[in-house]
Amino acid sequence: MLFKQQALLRQKLFVLGSLAIGSLLYLVARVGSLDRLQPLCPIDGRFGPRGQDEIPLRALQFKRGLLHEFRKGNATKEQIRLHNLVQQLPKAIIIGVRKGGTRALLEMLNLHPAVVKASQEIHFFDNDENYAKGIEWYRKKMPFSYPHQITIEKSPAYFITEEVPERIYKMNSSIKLLIIVREPTTRAISDYTQVLEGKERKNKTYYKFEKLAIDPNTCEVNTKYKAVRTSIYTKHLERWLKYFPIEQFHIVDGDRLITEPLPELQLVEKFLNLPPRISQYNLYFNATRGFYCLRFNIVFNKCLAGSKGRIHPEVDTSVITKLRNFFHPFNQKFYQITGRTFNWP
């Protein structure tokens, strides 16, 4: 009997010992995995000495979690107060251009932990009805953020709307302005393609691009066609320069952002005085989509909407040549003003 009791005791001790060792091994593995799961962008030293203008570590968690809930209106005033969250006016605006890659640029900048984006286009400065609602209405359209983060919004119609430069100047004369451009003819065709798709969804017919881009009476480029006018970048920029110095603008190469996004994003980080945090880890090429997708962390990835990268219709080569010749002198002036040269035909 005694022998059986001793054997049973040894068996229980063995089981307990195994459980203890297993728990210890689990904890070691868990600590290791947690260490590997630290945020991609460490907070320490982000804005200078520790404790000085430093975003709390939890900012990264709230940015993907609670901030999302707050944007949906699911937060109480007490929660907002406790977490020291505010709705800030943007310190930078992507003002254009349409079909230049504004959405891609905004989403990619949102990889940076110090950036918070307005998810929707606000159309405050280019819409008279919205503008009449006042600056506080605009502020309340902004996402919640920490005071140390910067808010960015994008509304590509700003670039071509006459009243916008003065209106933005009155809000903040030192604001930073981002313009993303593509080769003008390609951008015009992309603009047309988006409108064409909308017509087709409604079972409506639409003119061919050639008929819109070329004046049938003169056989010259039709400057009344909005897609053409938008691609005359220098004409619009000159209007903005009446209010802002060129140093407050940064020109982003939209064509390069598609094929090689990281160098373009690093230039924007520098322009916005942000510490470099976006890395190649955050960007991976999706062969199926033919575009780079975004990796925020080990579990959260995001690709742009399927509407991005539409296949363009074939356009008569003589029309393409005519458009490129038309845009050429405007492009040269744009290079001269901005100090950035592109390899456009």
**Is there a binding annotation on residue 309?**
yes
**Is there a binding annotation on residue 119?**
no
Band the pLDDT of 49: cuts 50, 70, 90.
very low
99 is catalytic: yes
Compute the average pLDDT of residues 109-130: 96
pLDDT of the residue at 168 = 98
SS (H, E, C) 236-281: HHHHHCCCCCHHHEEEEEHHHHHHCHHHHHHHHHHHCCCCCCCCHH
- The CA distance from 177 to 152, in Å, is 10
Fold classification of 84-338 (topology level): Rossmann fold (3.40.50)
**Is there a binding annotation on residue 103?**
yes
pLDDT of the residue at 76 = 65
Strands (E), 109-195: 115-117, 144-145, 150-154, 176-181
Query: What percentage of the chain has pLDDT greater than the value 90?
Result: 65
**Is there a binding annotation on residue 311?**
yes
CA 286 to chain CA mean position, Å:
18
The yes-or-no verdict on residue 251 having pLDDT over 80 is yes
Strands (E), 118-190: 144-145, 150-154, 176-181
- Which carries the bigger pLDDT value, residue 160 or residue 49? 160
pLDDT of the residue at 52 = 35
Structural domain boundaries of the chain? 84-338
**Is there a binding annotation on residue 10?**
no
Compute the average pLDDT of residues 4-26: 50
Strands (E), 141-189: 144-145, 150-154, 176-181
User: What is the model's pTM?
Assistant: 0.78
Q: Which of 99, 117, 176, 322 is catalytic?
A: 99
* H helix or E strand, kind and range, residue 225: none
Compute the average pLDDT of residues 154-173: 98
**Residue range 195-230, pLDDT digits in tens:** 999 998 898 889 999 999 999 999 999 999 999 999
Q: Around Cβ 195, how many Cβ atoms within 10 Å?
A: 14
